[in-house]
Chains A and B, each alone.
Chain A
């Protein structure tokens, strides 16, 4: 059976500059991958490349066995790539509920089901996108991606800038979603240990290249390796 997503020797960047070099990895349906590395090594660029928002210089990208290199971004999203950007990107003039209905596509996820996972959003459903706390914005960004009924959720630093208590709450929900295995997940996270506890496999990037790959559990068991790979020197 074909992999859900397979990236082969991706070299990509912006304009003439190259950020990623020769990056390869695969994700199974329902699988989970932690994408680790220090600041500025190209983690976000890799997610942007999957969405078709960078300039891909060479390499292959296939989705359920079909080449998607030339597929425009909106088609990738429709095909099942659900991106939760780091900036969260709320619409100031849309309410919480409108954020969800504007992207809704047929599938197992409905507004009611999203509210089961994020009851806070239901309390806030008439609030506008710019009237939410950071944690609520993150929940809404994830909920909005779920409403597109993704087969692969791309989470870019979901815990960034959130209070510890919110992080715990969010971690619980994301953990449930990942373990349910309804869709695959790629998590980019500065807090490497959080990402590793959520996922089965991990790759570490450094200067745009993959410098380590293993089971997430394996990395958790060897903190000295993890520190060497991701800690700020």
Chain B
């Protein structure tokens, strides 16, 4: 896309700066919860990748874990067979996941909502079974063990205290978030919103809808791959559940909970989901999903646009009541 004069380059608001201070504060305040913290950051990154394709381009996917799993196995296998350097492993995982995303995108962008739902579901199931079959490589249902990471930058080892994992995950999340934030405000991102709001009319103003969708789907897959790789590297293990349908479904819940199309909604949804899951599972290991289900129904009934949408609506009402 050509550089277009006059495109607003929006500054970071106080809300955004405050938001990013939270995980930094959490690092010092909750040193015992850094493992959960890393999981939240990784889930947030994964949800962000789905927000790009669902929230911005309205591609409904129930198989996004496919790319998460591809990224996880790529990083895991590299480390297992001697390439334990984290950053290059992350880049390799992103590349492979994006390549798989690009290949499958041609199938995904052809149909409409229901077709896409089925195609993405099918892609997820196929990859899951492929990994299951290839147990000599992937470890099958036992998972891939023997993943050995070298210290980050040759200095910071991935220890049991989870400090390196947390900071590493946070840094990666922030960098990818900045990229996504720039992307959705670019003319390309605007055209995605145009597609979301009037797909049929976009060609008439010179926009090739399939091409834009292929690009964003590939980007989304690559970011999901990074999230998967982060999980593999920080836990030094890859389970076959990284490719499984429940992971795709949970991801959808996180994003809807937080709100689609805001980027921050993905991060908030992932955090709320993971914390609730942790808390409720401690209360009752069996029935925790009941409360999660209730919350989900309440959110979609009473807060349109998830937690972000609800918060924005409340903020607007508050501003109006002051004037």
Inter-chain contact A74/B208, CB cutoff 8 Å: yes
A168 interfacial contact with B, CB 8 Å:
no
Residue of A83, A100, A102, A148 with most partner-chain B CB within 10 A: A102
Q: Which residue in B2, B6, B191, B209 is a CB contact (below 8 Å) of A97?
A: B6
Cβ contact within 8 Å between B193 and A72: no
User: Number of A residues contacting the other chain (C-beta, 8 Å)?
Assistant: 29
CB proximity to B under 8 Å, residues A81-132? 83, 85, 89, 91-94, 97-98, 100-106, 110-112
User: Is B315 in the interface zone, CB < 8 Å from A?
Assistant: no
Interface stretch of the complex, out of B34-42, B172-180, B194-202, B271-279: B194-202
Cross-chain contact A94 with B193 (CB below 8 angstroms): yes
On chain B, the residues within 8 Å of A74 by CB distance are: 202-204, 206-209
Please give me the residue from chain B that is nearest to A93 by CB atom. Answer: B193
- B198–A77 contact, CB under 8 A? no
By the criterion CB–CB under 8 Å, are B206 and A94 in contact?
no
In the assembled complex, A194 has its CB within 8 A of some CB on chain B: no
Question: Quick one: which of A83, A103, A144, A148 has the most chain B CB within 10 A?
Answer: A103
Nearest residue (CB) in B for A48 is B204
Are A101 and B190 within 8 A (Cβ)?
Answer: yes
Q: Is B31 an interface residue (CB 8 A)?
A: no
Known A-B contacts A97-B6, A101-B187, A101-B190; A144 and B203 likewise in contact (beta carbons under 8 Å): no
CB neighbours (8 Å) of A73 from chain B are 203-204
Closest to B208 in A: A74
Inter-chain contacts of A106 with B (CB < 8 A)? 2
CB pair B6 A102 closer than 8 Å: no
What residues of chain B lie closer than 8 Å to A186, measured between beta carbons?
none
Residues of A within 8 A of B206 (CB): 74, 77-78, 103, 105, 148
23 A-B pairs (CB sep. < 8 Å): A51-B204, A74-B208, A77-B203, A77-B204, A77-B205, A77-B206, A83-B204, A85-B201, A93-B196, A93-B197, A94-B197, A98-B8, A98-B190, A102-B187, A102-B194, A102-B205, A103-B206, A104-B187, A111-B5, A112-B5, A144-B205, A145-B205, A148-B206
The residues of B with any CB-CB pair to A shorter than 8 Å are 2, 4-8, 187, 190-191, 193-194, 196-198, 201-209
Chain A residues packing against B (C-beta within 8 Å): 51, 53, 72-74, 77-78, 83, 85, 89, 91-94, 97-98, 100-106, 110-112, 144-145, 148
A-B residue pairs, 6 tightest by C-beta: A77-B206, A73-B203, A102-B190, A74-B203, A111-B6, A74-B208
